[in-house]
Amino acid sequence: MVAAVGLRIENTVEPQALSPGRGELLARYRHLREISKQHLSDAMKFLSRDAVMHHARRLGLTLGKTTIIVDNMDELTLAVDLAIHTAADGRSRAIDRYARSSRFAPGSDEALMLEAMRNARFAVVLVQRRHPSVGLIVSDLFRNVELWLVDEGLEISLPVGAAFATRYYKPDGFIMTAGVGMPVGLDLLIGAVESAPQLLRKSRVEVIEDRRFAEAVYRAAIADGVMEGVAYRDVPGTGDAA
């Protein structure tokens, strides 16, 4: 897959010698994860049923105009992700509407996390190696950057060389997933691009920044049954989704 995409990786990972110990990093990650969960819960209050239904319909998760049908409830999570983090041109995103209504002290972790969530990026990443303290070093394949991902569930479950699509935040020196993700292969990515003809005229960087690409990848993953093998679960003792 990497050879086919033909990427040149630029190392943007902070020097490992400056990294705190595993316990301190996990405590920081878990703290920020709890804040992100609360932000997502509050942002969902700015979603209409019609908005979720619109994205569910585009992902092939509806029967008729009013009924959502899923084989796996995690499939609906993908529709909610799109409804929170994306919007058509000229429309506002739910995460931005929530941010405008919020009042957090400047510089607080709540404000820091919310700003990171507003700048979330959809990505296809490849696991390069384990980080010596915690998490994984991954390559964002479309943007040619190497990142430090902290996610306890993915650290446990993903081997080196695994490729997956996800949306991520960068609230600190590391990135965190937005709570969605699925394994992907080259065939699925090609199929996703071909299913959205508007993407065929774009460069690789333009494709990954286009909201329609995330939608196309989610739709392909559902259609191919990829989501049947995905489970967002709590890591024992942490309460964090993986």
> Domain range holding 135?
2-228
Instruction: Supply the pLDDT for residue 177.
Output: 96
CA distance 165 to 156: 17
Average of per-residue pLDDT across 4-15: 47
Does residue 172 belong to any structural domain of this protein?
yes
Angle, alpha carbons 66-71-72 (nearest 5°): 105
- pTM tops 0.95, yes or no: no
| Top-confidence range, 64-68, 93-97, 235-239 | 93-97
Task: Give the mean pLDDT of the chain.
Answer: 86
* Residue 54 burial (10 A CB sphere; 0-12, 13-18, 19+): middle
Q: Note the pLDDT tens digit of each residue in 170-200.
A: 999 999 999 899 999 999 999 999 999 999 9
DSSP 8-state assignment for residue 45: G
User: What's the pLDDT band for 46 if we cut at 50, 70, 90?
Assistant: very high
Please state, in angstroms and as integers, the Cα–Cα distance from residue 237 to each residue in 81, 86, 130, 179, following that order.
Answer: 26, 33, 22, 18
Cα Rg of the chain, angstroms: 18
Q: Indicate if the alpha-carbon torsion angle 213, 219, 224, 225 is positive or negative.
A: positive
Instruction: Supply the pLDDT for residue 12.
Output: 54
pLDDT-wise least confident of 32-36, 75-79, 160-164: 75-79
Does residue 8 belong to any structural domain of this protein?
yes
Does residue 169 belong to any structural domain of this protein?
yes
Average of per-residue pLDDT across 203-227: 93
Does residue 236 belong to any structural domain of this protein?
no
* The two three-digit tokens of residue 150, written as one number: 């902290």
Locate tokens 């394949």: which residue? 141
Does residue 131 belong to any structural domain of this protein?
yes
Does residue 237 belong to any structural domain of this protein?
no
Instruction: Supply the pLDDT for residue 132.
Output: 93
Angle, alpha carbons 94-96-97 (nearest 5°): 65
DSSP 8-state assignment for residue 235: P
H helices, E strands: number in the chain: 10, 8
Instruction: Supply the pLDDT for residue 230.
Output: 64
Does residue 242 belong to any structural domain of this protein?
no
CA distance 152 to 238: 9
User: What's the pLDDT band for 231 if we cut at 50, 70, 90?
Assistant: low
Percentage of residues of the chain with pLDDT beyond 70: 82
Contact 12, 170 (CB under 8 A): no
Instruction: Supply the pLDDT for residue 241.
Output: 39
